[in-house]
Amino acid sequence: MIPWLADPAAFPPVESALDDPDGLLAAGGALTPEWLLAAYRRGIFPWYSGDQPILWWSPDPRLVLVPAQIKISRSLAKTLRRGHFEVRFDSAFAAVVTACAQPREPSGGTWITPAMQAAYLRMHEIGHAHSVETWCEGELVGGLYGIALGRAFFGESMFSHRSDASKVALAHLARHLESRGFAMIDCQMTTAHLLSLGAREMPRRVFSEQLATLTSAGDAPGKWPPDAGAGLFQAR
């Protein structure tokens, strides 16, 4: 059994999350900024399908990428140096979320429901949600979005319509966050793709301890300049 939430201050300790399914912590609540900020500060995120109540998760272990430790393959480094893609920040947030919400398979669904899209658009409007966009010849071909809180970034989703487009976005995000003193990108769930890019698993207890410090530090909310990614790789 998991608790039903009625107050954003009432999230249970993450240690009480279920082992099966891994990390399921609570249900109910709302997707307002108050609820989302309270959740992220505790290392909790919403994830549910359209016919379910809001479900809140905190899996163990947690997949984390330290911005300075991203692994860039030779082929990706070559792509970055060529500058074939243009990378922009926060210039098409809604379009990135819409693209991420598209089913990966023709018969598949999506957890990025209209309610989730509206919630993160609101978080973008108040300066906590950001997008990194990969453009080619004026077309949006890849990108990602997530939440910035203190010196931690919580990755939510990414998409790619061209080879390496999402990897280029992630590489620019990592370099940008490193330059701003961010110490962690929360990748939430473990995937082979993210492990290949340098992410590593962290025990939930350690993750929570680090998060308590990072989310209370520095970096005030606000939109990132669209050209914040310019020159991040030519400079090295």
Domain count, the chain: 2
CB neighbours of 134 closer than 8 A, spacing ≥ 6? 85, 86, 87, 140, 141, 142, 143, 160, 162, 165, 166, 168, 169
Q: Are 108 and 17 found together in one domain?
A: no
pLDDT band for 220, please (50, 70, 90 cuts): confident
| Average pLDDT over all residues of the chain | 93
* Domain-located, residue 119: yes
- Evaluate if residue 174 carries a pLDDT over 90: yes
Mean pLDDT of 112-127: 96
> Quick check: 153 and 128 in contact, CB under 8 A?
no
CA distance 180 to 151: 8
- Tens of pLDDT, residue by residue over 155-173, are 999 999 999 999 999 999 9
* Domain-located, residue 158: yes
Helix (H/G/I), strand (E/B), else coil: 210: helix
Q: Are 41 and 78 found together in one domain?
A: no
pLDDT band for 108, please (50, 70, 90 cuts): low
pTM above 0.85, yes or no: yes
Q: Are 115 and 177 found together in one domain?
A: yes
Give the pLDDT confidence score for residue 226 in this predicted structure. 94
Nearest to 91 by CA among 184, 229, 219: 229
| Domain span at 159 | 63-214
CA distance 127 to 63: 24
CA distance 167 to 169: 5
